[in-house]
Amino acid sequence: MRKILLTIMSASLVTFVGTGSTLAQDDGMLIIPVELYACTYNDRKDSGDLDDVVDKWNAYMDSKGNDTYAAWTLTPNYFGPNQEFDVIWMAASKNAIAMGETADAWRADNDGIADDFAEVITCNGHSNFASVNYKALPDGDPASTAVLTFSDCSYKEGASFDAVGAAMAKWSQYLTDAGSTAGIFHWYPVWGGGGEEFSFKWLEGFASHAELGADYERLGNGLGFVTRGRLFDHLLSCDSARVYDARNRRSAQLR
């Protein structure tokens, strides 16, 4: 893992970070820290109760002047028996320093909102990933809802981060030329896991299920799977993706 992260931090790639912003290639590649909480609703609690707490939390974050922490909640749509949770809290920080500062401030004084969250949800998993972007989402303000797909991928023997990056550049250009509006990110595990049987998570973001379906059509009847196979079959092994409905809970200028 250390070798992978050092490679990430020293690689020179075009990276999208934040919401609707891109970096020039000569600026180098940046990563952003992302955290996930996997949670279940407590007895007689539901999404409406969570909404009430999130409103309090947003007011708290505003009172602290925090503009470096963005958050979403994810609800499973296409999923398997291993997804033993009701909702995921997904958050990204401007950088790892801002992530730590937000965590310190929350632990020092959260106005009792941590207890409010605990009354509604129980979270049995908390993990952190380094997010690398290969295809930017369309410019503009973040949407209130989105559709996300997650797939676990492993490097095949002889594959390298640089080789995957080169293939991703070609794949991203192919999708762009075909009219895809998806954003594509690779998430490398940093904290909170242990015993992972994958190298990274391949994440794609869509504005709607219609846009997700459009890429389904491009890869299937449009024969995009042929190009994808040529680029990645010798580099990666990925499982079938899980699909989540995402709801934006707080926006931030991450870059």
Contact 127, 189 (CB under 8 A): yes
CATH number at 2-250: 3.30.70
Instruction: Determine the average pLDDT of the residues in 224-251.
Output: 98
User: With left for phi above 0 and alpha for psi between -120 and 50, is residue 197 left, alpha or beta?
Assistant: alpha
Query: What is the reported pLDDT for 22?
Result: 33
The closest of 97, 96, 145, 158 to 244, measured between CA atoms, is: 145
Of the chain, the percentage scoring pLDDT greater than 90 comes to 81
Q: pTM for this one?
A: 0.86
Q: Between 90 and 16, where is the model more confident?
A: 90
**HSE-up (13 A, CA, CB side) for residue 178:** 22
* Strand pairing class (236-238; 32-41): unpaired
Residues 100-137: b if buried by 16+ CB within 10 A, e if exposed: ebbeeebeeeeeebeebbeebbebeeebbbbbbbbbbb
Q: Which of 21-25, 45-49, 54-58, 103-107 has the lowest mean pLDDT?
A: 21-25
Q: Between 129 and 16, where is the model more confident?
A: 129
Encode pLDDT of 45-74 as tens digits: 999 999 999 999 999 999 999 999 999 999
Encode pLDDT of 193-228 as tens digits: 778 899 999 999 999 999 999 999 999 999 999 999
Query: What is the reported pLDDT for 191?
Result: 96
- Read off the DSSP letter of residue 160: -
